[in-house]
Amino acid sequence: MDNIFWKYLDDLPAIPEEFLTNIPSLDIEKETQIVFHDLERGDPTVKNVKYSRYDLNNSFTNWLKEHIVDHASSYGIAYSYSAKYPVSHSPHIDYTRDYTLIYNLDPGNDNDVYTSFYQEEGSPLEHPLGTKIKNHNKLTLLDSVKIDPKRWLILNAKVIHGVSEIIRPRVSIQLGLHKGDKFTF
């Protein structure tokens, strides 16, 4: 069976350093595309992360359109952060995209940060955007991947997924895609 959760896209070019040295730093006062403050659900011992995504400047976005994909629904830089670590992105379904094309600049941990994919007992594998997870205690782990820094990966954001063991701010370039777009499966 083909992996329907994630796939490395090693044929895509690396992002030039000129763009990476001028990315916006985390500014929680700045207006963002999305600010998602994950709630503690299912396991009250889990500390959850704050998530902010910012637009990229025009020259960076134009480079991504020319060299990666020209029709993404969003082009942004994402920050996952907290006042206290370690933290996790609780299992969730994305709100704005079916697939995420991700390029980690800092994965948030040198060794043990994984993106994991789950299925909720009695539910389908894929869900509509923004579907709420009813019971985190009824999730079965299906697969996980350690997303290497500075390497393109696409993940299926319609499958329940979460990120664990973030010990410092996690920073990534993210492009939103929908079913039928380039690279989707």
For residue 183, is it within any domain? no
Residue 35 banded pLDDT, cuts 50, 70, 90: very low
C-alpha distances out from residue 112 to 10, 69, 92, 119, 139, Å: 22, 30, 20, 22, 21
Supply the CATH number for residue 153's domain. 2.60.120
For residue 25, is it within any domain? yes
pTM: 0.86
For residue 1, is it within any domain? no
**pLDDT of the residue at 17:** 93
% of the chain beyond a pLDDT of 70? 85
Per residue in 76-130, pLDDT tens? 999 888 777 888 888 999 999 999 999 999 999 988 899 999 999 999 999 999 8
| Domain coverage including residue 98 | 6-177
Average pLDDT, the chain: 85
Q: Using alpha carbons, select from 55, 100, 109, 101 the residue that is nearest to residue 80.
A: 109
For residue 159, is it within any domain? yes
In angstroms, rounded to a whole number, what is the distance separating the alpha carbons of residues 69 and 89?
26
**pLDDT of the residue at 47:** 56
Q: How many domains does the chain have?
A: 1
For residue 62, is it within any domain? yes
Q: Using alpha carbons, select from 27, 35, 174 the residue that is nearest to residue 103.
A: 174
For residue 184, is it within any domain? no
Residue 175, pLDDT > 90, answer yes
Any bridge partners for residue 6, and if so which?
155
